Structure 1
Amino acid sequence: MQRMGMLIGVEPHMIAEYKRLHAAVWPEILDLISRCNIRNYTIFLREPENLLFGTWEYHGTDFEADTAKMAADPKNLEWWSFTIPCQKPLASRKEGEWWAMMEEVFHLD
């Protein structure tokens, strides 16, 4: 199992829409996340900085294949057409990242 954390901004005028979307995530998206071996997925919002912090656990054996499967899924592409306009990537993110990935420096079970 691998824990992951990520950070992105959210457009201030899109916060209510982002919350609305995530209050009723489409069942197909929830199923896809599970089929891609992601568990304990949580997104937190920090205002007034308008930052989203996401964390999850990856329970699979081929993260690249699972993320490729997720990125290619037609229903997920439709979902992203609603969520991506709400997001504001950090300027400091690495090449190829949308959400800026974070290093785990402490964990207690």
Structure 2
Amino acid sequence: MSATSGEKATPVRRFGKLITLRPEHREEYLRLHAKAWPEVLATITACNLRNYSIFVEGEVLFSYVEYIGDDYAADMAKMAADPVTQRWWRLTDPCQEQTEGAVPGEWWTPMREVFHHD
């Protein structure tokens, strides 16, 4: 994001998170994400998330996303309140299991960034 007319640019915040994929739901999870619903994708964008990716290795899912807004908590509350996203989560959440390092109030386990290079 660039600053114009003296506006202060909001710095991009990067998030890496982990969760475990339940092996018995693996194919369902991959099928859902191969054809993610357009309404869910629009909500992700409307909530100031960019470059959202989910990677899988064995039973581990790793997500990476960049946040470009100025109120992460409000944007995440907006996403959580979206009825279509709630329906999506009702399908995807049973495919996942929290890791041992899960934080109360977070479904995916947040990771600490230890290196970044632009």
Corresponding residue for 1:25?
36
Give, in angstroms, the shift of residue 92 of structure 1. 1.9
Point out which structure has higher relative CO (alpha carbons under 8 A, 6+ apart): 1
Q: For 1:75, which of 84, 89, 99 is the aligned residue?
A: 84
Corresponding residue for 1:15?
26
TM-score normalised according to structure 2 size? 0.89
Which 4+ residue blocks in structure 1 deviate beyond 3 angstroms? none
Task: Answer with 66-75 or 89-98: which moved more.
Answer: 89-98
Deviations 1:69-98 (A, max 9, x none): 000100000000100000010122122221
Bigger radius of gyration among the two: 2
Residue 4 of structure 1 aligns to a residue whose secondary structure is strand
Which consecutive unaligned segments of at least 5 residues does structure 1 have? none
> For the residues of structure 2 that align with 1:92 and 1:34, how far apart are their CA atoms?
28
> For the residues of structure 1 that align with 2:33 and 2:105, how far apart are their CA atoms?
25
> For the residues of structure 2 that align with 1:54 and 1:84, how far apart are their CA atoms?
14
Corresponding residue for 2:48?
37
- 1:62 maps onto 2:57 in alignment: no
Residue 45 of structure 1 aligns to a residue whose secondary structure is strand
Which consecutive unaligned segments of at least 5 residues does structure 2 have? 1-11
Count the aligned residue pairs: 107
Corresponding residue for 2:93?
84
Q: Identity over aligned residues, as a percent?
A: 50
